[in-house]
Amino acid sequence: MQPSERPATDRVSLRPARPGDAELLRLWRGEPSVARHQPLGSVSVERLTIELAGQNHRDLYRSRGDKFQWIIEVDGRPAGWITLVATNWEHGLAELGYALSTPYQRRGITPRALDALLDDLFANTVLERIEARCAVSNTASAKVLQVVGFRQEGRLRAYFQLRGQRVDNYLFAILKSDRRS
């Protein structure tokens, strides 16, 4: 979709994922376009429910906890999700992942959702450096990361296995100071 064709009315917002979102997450993970460039193993609704029930978003602002997920909503409807894994609170490190359900892709939604989240994370948590990785074939994901200010820092050879092939990934990162500048 060309930018001029994008619906002007998309209202993008984020809310913490809840245990009741588990079925939606399982369905989205199974969409071919969502799994095309990343190895998303099948996970049961029960496991996702337990994982979501264990997440407390207040912990993020108290430098505790290790995994947090948000639902991206478009005009109030669930459209995709973002995952943040805090890898080291002492050094302010975390990793981001994200995906949109197929009908919501190519509408400029992910950059808007990430922009809002990064503003919040760098303003209200101790995080200083956030990393993201994508398969080198995932040009859409690399584009989105660059649009919101991530810099490509390297190429991770044979980083994961995708449909029987070892796949290189790009490593991207954004610093709190990048965001300020």
- Which of 34/117 has CB closer to ligand COA? 34
Of the pair 105, 125, the CB lying nearest ligand COA is at 105
CB of 117 to ligand COA, least distance (A): 13
What is the helix, strand, coil percentage profile of the chain, to 5?
35, 35, 30
Q: Do 94 and 66 contact (CB within 8 A), yes or no?
A: no
Query: Where are the alpha helices (H) located in the chain, listed in sequence order?
Result: 22-29, 32-35, 45-53, 57-60, 109-124, 139-147, 176-180
State the nearest-atom distance from the C-beta of 112 to ligand COA, in Å. Answer: 8
Q: How far is the CB of 110 from ligand COA (least distance, A)?
A: 3
Contact (Cβ atoms closer than 8 angstroms) between residue 130 and residue 94 = yes
Instruction: Give backbone dihedrals phi and psi of 61, rounded to 5 degrees, phi first.
Output: -85, -5
Q: Give 3 or 76: the residue with its C-beta nearer to ligand COA.
A: 3
Task: For ligand COA, give the closer residue by CB, 17 or 144.
Answer: 144
Residues at the contact surface with ligand COA, assessed by CB under 6 A: 33-34, 37-38, 80, 98-100, 105-111, 134, 138, 140-141, 143-144
Minimum separation from the CB atom of position 37 to ligand COA (A): 5
Q: Which is nearer to ligand COA, 52 or 100 (CB)?
A: 100
- The dihedrals phi and psi of 10, each to the nearest 5 degrees, come to -55, 115
The minimum distance between CB 145 and ligand COA, in angstroms, equals 8
DSSP-derived secondary structure letter, 21: G
